[in-house]
Homo-oligomer: A and B are copies of this chain.
Amino acid sequence: MVRDVINLKSKQERSEETKKNILNAAKKLFMTYGYESVTIRQIAKEAGCSHTAIYLYYKDKESLLHHLVMPLLQLLSQQMKNIIQLNEMDDWTKLKRLCSSFITFCLHHKSMYSTFMTASASRVDEEDPRLQINNVRIEIFQLLMQTLENALGLSDPRQSLAFARVLFYNLHGVISTYIDNKEPLEDLTERLSSTFDLSVEAMLLGLREIKKQGGKKDESRTNF
């Protein structure tokens, strides 16, 4: 049972290699051109197989993306946890660092971000990648909310939720404004990072102000 070591592989090796080639090709192309622009046939060409071979290993095009997204989301989550665990940093600064880091990461991984944002709360079975993505999404949201609570001294869970949601809108607004931007990320960041920071700073200061005024917002609403 000696195989010719030049280029013959066992069936298992071939299938595993093909599977990996497909995923790597998809990763490369999605990162370069964005998920929607990339066709299955392009991925197949890059992977060196037929476009229909892809369906032997992955359910569909979207499934490819999900397989790529989970590790990235876990990386993001871990990155955020690392920031939170920095002991020499106060909560306010942690919160700002979290937001800034979130924006940068998501702009680096735009397809991932689109999946992150569209994974819905639909009822899916345990194996469905969307459920897993949704779980990480919730985890990330919780990390942000908790740090927000700490930084602003929030105690009402409903207020925490509203504040965190609003902060998420803000981050989402920044990221999604540039999600289809074709400019190199370095140029974009150089041009706009101070504006991104301004956005985060303003939102956090505003939330702190509302916390300080505790309930004044509702009164101003009544006076309409």
Q: Could you tell me which A residues sit within 8 Å of B by CB distance?
A: 93, 117-118, 162-163, 165-166, 168-174, 176-177, 180, 194-195, 197-199, 201-207, 209-210, 217, 221, 224
> Smallest CB–CB gap between A153 and chain B, Å?
16
> Smallest CB–CB gap between A141 and chain B, Å?
12
A199 partner, pick from B117, B170, B180, B204, beta carbons under 8 A: B170
Q: Which residues of B contact A163 (CB under 8 A)?
A: 198, 202
A202 touches B210 (CB 8 A): yes
A97's nearest neighbour on chain B, judged by CB, is B224
Q: Which residues of B contact A168 (CB under 8 A)?
A: 173, 177
The 16 listed contacts between A and B (C-beta, < 8 Å) are A166-B195, A170-B170, A170-B199, A170-B203, A172-B173, A172-B176, A173-B174, A198-B210, A198-B217, A201-B206, A201-B217, A202-B203, A202-B207, A203-B206, A204-B206, A206-B207
A89's nearest neighbour on chain B, judged by CB, is B224
Copy count, this protein chain: 2
Q: Which residues of B contact A171 (CB under 8 A)?
A: 173
A198 touches B166 (CB 8 A): yes
Given A169-B173, A202-B210: 10 more A-B contacts, CB < 8 Å: A93-B224, A162-B194, A162-B198, A163-B202, A169-B170, A170-B170, A173-B174, A201-B206, A202-B209, A205-B206
> Smallest CB–CB gap between A35 and chain B, Å?
14
